[in-house]
């Protein structure tokens, strides 16, 4: 991506996050997004087919950066710190964009749902940890492993959805302690230390 494209994507990213914070992303039109970003309407389609898709792409990119920062090449003895660190960073990301996530995780989010995007992110993070043998799980086969990935991923998303209903400031440490009590004993978390 050249410098001009990076600048355009940065403008679109900021605009879509601002618009999604102000109101439901389903009410944002491509023309409205283009105007807010200071780009032509056709430029939006270069990056996404809709404002909701662009929003998911922007949030996923932020989450992917967190995964890369915390989870790549983690030794098994460092898994507890890595999992705790990335979970804390994801919670801070979600909290920073709480209006977006509260709308996007709610039952009424429809086409603008962020649940699948977050589930894919968490499953990808768990899969990375398993593939690089940072963590092992009690799976008899690939179906068991995928089931465990999905169970852990969707469980944390449900917990985050409820956590977002708390007023700010939200206590990340209390949330992490609760999640540690809920997750299986073989999953690395701070109670493992």
Give tens-digit pLDDT for 31-76.
Answer: 999 999 999 999 999 999 999 999 999 999 999 999 999 999 999 9
Spatial distance between the Cα atoms of 115 and 47, rounded to a whole number of angstroms: 21
pLDDT at 148: 94
Average pLDDT over residues 127-142: 94
Report the share of the chain in percent with pLDDT over 90: 90
Whether the CB-CB separation of 61 and 48 falls below 8 Å is answered with no
**pLDDT per residue as tens digits for the range 141-173:** 999 999 999 999 999 999 999 999 999 999 999
Cα 125 to its chain centre, rounded Å, is 10
Identify whether the C-beta of residue 129 lies closer than 8 Å to the C-beta of residue 74.
Answer: yes
Residue 77: is its pLDDT beyond 80? yes
Quick check: 121 and 173 in contact, CB under 8 A? no
Q: What is the mean pLDDT of residues 166-191?
A: 90
| CA distance to 83, 125, 134, per residue, from 70 (Å) | 8, 10, 12
Rounded to two decimals, the pTM is 0.91
- Kindly report the CATH class assigned to 51-192: mainly alpha
């Amino acid at each position: 991506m050249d410098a001009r494209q990076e600048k355009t994507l940065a403008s679109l990213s900021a605009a879509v996050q601002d618009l999604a914070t102000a109101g439901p992303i389903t009410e944002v039109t491509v023309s409205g997004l283009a105007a807010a970003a200071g780009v032509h309407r056709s430029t939006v389609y270069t990056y996404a087919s809709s404002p909701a898709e662009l929003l998911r792409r922007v949030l996923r990119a932020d989450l992917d950066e967190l995964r890369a920062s915390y989870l790549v090449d983690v030794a098994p003895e460092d898994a507890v710190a890595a999992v705790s660190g990335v979970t804390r960073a994801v919670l801070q990301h979600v909290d920073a964009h709480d209006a977006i996530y509260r709308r996007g995780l709610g039952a009424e989010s429809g086409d603008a749902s962020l649940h699948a995007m977050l589930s894919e992110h968490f499953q990808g993070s768990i899969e990375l940890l398993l593939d690089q043998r940072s963590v092992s799980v009690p799976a008899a086969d690939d179906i068991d492993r995928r089931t465990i990935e999905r169970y852990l991923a969707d469980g944390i998303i449900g917990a985050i959805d409820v956590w977002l209903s708390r007023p700010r400031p939200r206590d990340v440490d209390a949330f992490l302690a609760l999640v540690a009590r809920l997750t299986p004993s073989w999953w690395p978390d701070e109670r493992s230390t």
